[in-house]
Structure 1
Amino acid sequence: MALTNTHKSDLLLVCVTLLAAISWMFSKEAVLLMPPVMFMAFRFLIAGATLAIVAIPSLQRLSSEQLRRSFMVGLVFGIAMSFWIKGLYYGEHLGEGAFLTSLGVVLVPIVDRLVFRQPQPWSTWAAIPIAVGGLACLSLENGFRTEIGQIYYVLAASIFALFFLMNTRAANSRCVTLPDGSTKALGPVPALPLSAITLLTVGLVALAESALTEPWHDTLPNLSWTLSGWVLASAIIGTAGRFFLQTYAQSLSNHSHGVVIMVLEPVWVAIFAANWFGETMSPTQMIGCGLIFAALLVNRWNTLMRVARKWITKRA
C-alpha cells in the first residue's frame, strides 16, 4: 500500500522527535559549559547559516510576502524560546518544566480551533487528555509546585503551539480573505528557505538577548574543542536537521492534529537519558510512556481502522 502524504508526514514527525530527543543530550552537555541564551544564539545561527548556504538559490526566488511570513514564523519561535529559557532560569523543578513545555504540542489542535477556526477530528480531542495524563506521569512524579518559572513555561508552551500552526500554514498553500471580501492565494514557502530564515531569526533574537543579559567576556576566551563539538552537534543535527525535517513534514499535510505525534519527544528523552546519563525510569514514568503511545494510537484511530479493514479483507 502506497503511503499518502499524511502518512509520510506522520513518519517524518516521529523521526523529528528522535532528533529532538538526541538534541536534548547535546544541549545539556553544552549548557554545563556556557551561558544558556548564548548557547541558543550560537546553535540557531550556525544551524540557520548552514541551511541558508544550501538554500541560496531558493532564497533568491522568494517573494516579499514569503519572506515576511518566514520572518514572522521565526520571530514567534524566537519569542517562545526566550520564554522557555526564562522558565529554565527561574524554575526550580525541571520535571514540571518539561511537562508544561511538552503541553505546547497538545495545545496545537486547541489553538488551531480557537484562533484559526479549523475543525478537529474527534480522535484528536480524545487523545489530548490521554497525552496530558502520560506527560504528567512522565514528568510530575514528585508533585507539582507553583512558581514564577512555571508561568514562563506556560507562556512558552502556548507560543510554541502558535509557532507549529504558523509553520504549517507557511509551508502550505492557502487562501486568505482580504478586508474588501475578496480572496488571495498564498503560495507555500519551500521547506529549506523557510527553515533557514526561521532559525536565523531565532538566533538573532537570542543573540540580542544574550548580549544584554549574559557575560560574554567570561565565556568566549574559554571556548574548548569539547564545547565547540557539543554546539556544532546541537546546531547541525539537533537544529538544522530537525527543523528542516519538521518543516518538510508539515508541508506534506495541512492538518494540525498530526503534530500530536511530537508528544513522543519526552519519551525518547527519558529513554536516551537512561542510557546517556545513567538515569532510571520509575514504574510511574513507564506508565506515562504507555499512555503517550496510547494517545498516538487514538489520535490516528481512523487511519488504523482503515488499514486493519484492508488487511482483513485481503486475508479473507
Structure 2
Amino acid sequence: MNNAYKSDLLLVIVTLLASISWMFSKEAVLQMPPLLFMSMRFFLAGLLLSCVSYQALKGLARCAWLHAIRVGLIFGFAMCFWVTGLEKASHVGEAAFLASLGVVMVPIIARLLFKESIPRSTWLALPVALVGLGFLSLGAATAHALKIEASHILLLTSAAFFALYFNLNARVTNIRSFVKNNSSDAKASKIPVLALTTIVLLTTGVITGITSAFFEAWRPTLTNLHAELIGWILLSATIGTALRFLLQTYAQSLTANSHGVVIMVLEPLWTTLIAMLWFSETMNASQLLGCLLILLSLIINRLKAITQLMGIR
C-alpha cells in the first residue's frame, strides 16, 4: 500500500473515531457538568500526547509557544460552546451537522480577518447551508413554524469559533519560528504539528476548566465518580482525542496527495448513523432534509477537491 492510500485509510479511521467520540461525550455530559468533562478530557489527552511530543515541545522557542497557546485559546472557546450545545441537544446527529458548518465558514472568516478572497464554491454552498438550517429549525410537523433552539445557537457559535481556529491553525503551521538551540546557530523551523496539537489540547483543558470553575459545581461529580462515568472520560480522552489526533497527524504527514479534505466531510454522516444505532435516534422529514442539504453544502464547498479526486478538470 502506497503512502497516499495509507493516509486515506487512516483518515477514514480518524473520522470514525471523531464520530464515535460524539457518543462518548454525550454519555458523559448526561452524568456530569459538560465543561468539567471537557477539561478532564482535553487535559488528559494533552498529557498523553506530550509523552510522544516531549522532545519537540522541549525544543520550541517562546514565540512558538505563544502562537500555539493563542490557537489553543480559540479552540478552547469553541469547545466550550460545542459541549454546552451537545448537552442541550436532543439529537446528536443534528448537532453534528450544525457543528460541521464551521468548514463552510472558514473562507468567510479568512475574508473578514485576513482579506482573502472567498472561493466561488463557498458562495454556492452558503445558500444551500442556510436552507438546510431553515429545515432543521422547523418545529413539529403540525406546527410548521421556525423554532430556534438554544442548542442550535450554541453549536453554530462553536462552528464560527472552529472556523477561526482552522484559519489560525493553518497560519501557525506555515510560519517559521526559531527553535531553541544552546549554540549560536539557532535555525528557523516550522512548529511541529504534533507539538502544536499537544499545546492546543492542554490549553483547551485549562480554558474549559477555568470556565467550569466559574459556572459549574464540581463537588457532586468528584464525590460520586463511578466506573461507568470514568470509562466515558477515559474513552473520550484516549480514543476520541489523543489517538484520533495522533493518527490524523501521522496520516497527514505521509503524503500531500491525500484525499483527506473530502474524507473529513463524512464525519457528520458517520455520527448520525452511529447515533441511530447507539441512541436509537430517528429523524423527521424536515430534519432529514436539513441534514442532507448541509451535507450537500459541505460537498459543494469542497467541490474543487472532489473534482480533482474524480479526475475532472
Residues 1:298 and 2:292 aligned together: no
Q: How many Å separate the matches in 1 of 2:118 and 2:221?
A: 47
Q: 1:265 aligns to what SS in structure 2?
A: helix
Q: CA deviation at 1:206?
A: 1.4
Letter in 2 for 1:63: A
Q: How many Å separate the matches in 2 of 1:297 and 1:3?
A: 25
Q: Which region of structure 1 is more displaced relative to structure 2, 238-247 or 213-222?
A: 238-247
Alignment-derived partner of residue 182 in structure 1: none
Alignment-derived partner of residue 205 in structure 1: 207
Deviations 1:217-255 (A, max 9, x none): 22112211211111111111212233445566778999x
The structure-2 alpha-carbon separation of the partners of 1:109 and 1:8, relative to structure 1 and needing over 3 Å to count, comes to farther
2:73 aligns with one of 75, 91, 101: 75
Letter in 1 for 2:108: I
The structure-2 alpha-carbon separation of the partners of 1:187 and 1:122, relative to structure 1 and needing over 3 Å to count, comes to farther
Matches within 5 A, 1:1-316: 15-87=13-85, 100-134=98-132, 136-137=134-135, 139-142=136-139, 144-146=146-148, 151-173=153-175, 187-245=189-247, 262=264, 264-306=266-308, 308=310
Q: How many Å separate the matches in 2 of 1:270 and 1:238?
A: 16
Letter in 1 for 2:58: Q
Letter in 2 for 1:168: A
Q: How many Å separate the matches in 1 of 2:19 and 2:77?
A: 21
Q: Which region of structure 1 is more displaced relative to structure 2, 14-23 or 68-77?
A: 14-23
Kept after mapping to 2: 8 A contact 1:191/1:244? no
Q: CA deviation at 1:13?
A: 6.0
Kept after mapping to 1: 8 A contact 2:97/2:295? no
Q: Which region of structure 1 is more displaced relative to structure 2, 100-109 or 301-310?
A: 301-310
Q: CA deviation at 1:192?
A: 1.1
Q: Which region of structure 1 is more displaced relative to structure 2, 258-267 or 32-41?
A: 258-267
Kept after mapping to 2: 8 A contact 1:9/1:252? yes
Q: How many Å separate the matches in 2 of 1:40 and 1:120?
A: 33
Q: CA deviation at 1:116?
A: 1.4
Aligned residues: 295
The structure-2 alpha-carbon separation of the partners of 1:13 and 1:108, relative to structure 1 and needing over 3 Å to count, comes to farther
Deviations 1:69-110 (A, max 9, x none): 111111111122223445567x67668866654332221111
Q: How many Å separate the matches in 2 of 1:3 and 1:294?
A: 29
Q: How many Å separate the matches in 1 of 2:84 and 2:174?
A: 32
Q: CA deviation at 1:127?
A: 2.8
Q: How many Å separate the matches in 2 of 1:68 and 1:39?
A: 26
Kept after mapping to 2: 8 A contact 1:105/1:260? no
Q: 2:100 aligns to what SS in structure 1?
A: helix
Deviations 1:35-91 (A, max 9, x none): 1111111000111000011111111111222111111111111122223445567x6
Deviations 1:9-56 (A, max 9, x none): 887665544322211100111112211111111000111000011111
Q: How many Å separate the matches in 1 of 2:231 and 2:31?
A: 12
Letter in 1 for 2:63: E
Kept after mapping to 2: 8 A contact 1:99/1:135? no
Q: How many Å separate the matches in 2 of 1:81 and 1:171?
A: 21
Kept after mapping to 2: 8 A contact 1:134/1:290? yes
Q: CA deviation at 1:111?
A: 0.7
The structure-2 alpha-carbon separation of the partners of 1:73 and 1:210, relative to structure 1 and needing over 3 Å to count, comes to same
The structure-2 alpha-carbon separation of the partners of 1:29 and 1:147, relative to structure 1 and needing over 3 Å to count, comes to closer
The structure-2 alpha-carbon separation of the partners of 1:59 and 1:292, relative to structure 1 and needing over 3 Å to count, comes to same
Q: Using structure 1 for the length normalisation, give the TM-score.
A: 0.76
The structure-2 alpha-carbon separation of the partners of 1:187 and 1:15, relative to structure 1 and needing over 3 Å to count, comes to farther
Q: Which region of structure 1 is more displaced relative to structure 2, 216-225 or 95-104?
A: 95-104
Q: CA deviation at 1:123?
A: 2.5
Q: How many Å separate the matches in 1 of 2:236 and 2:58?
A: 27
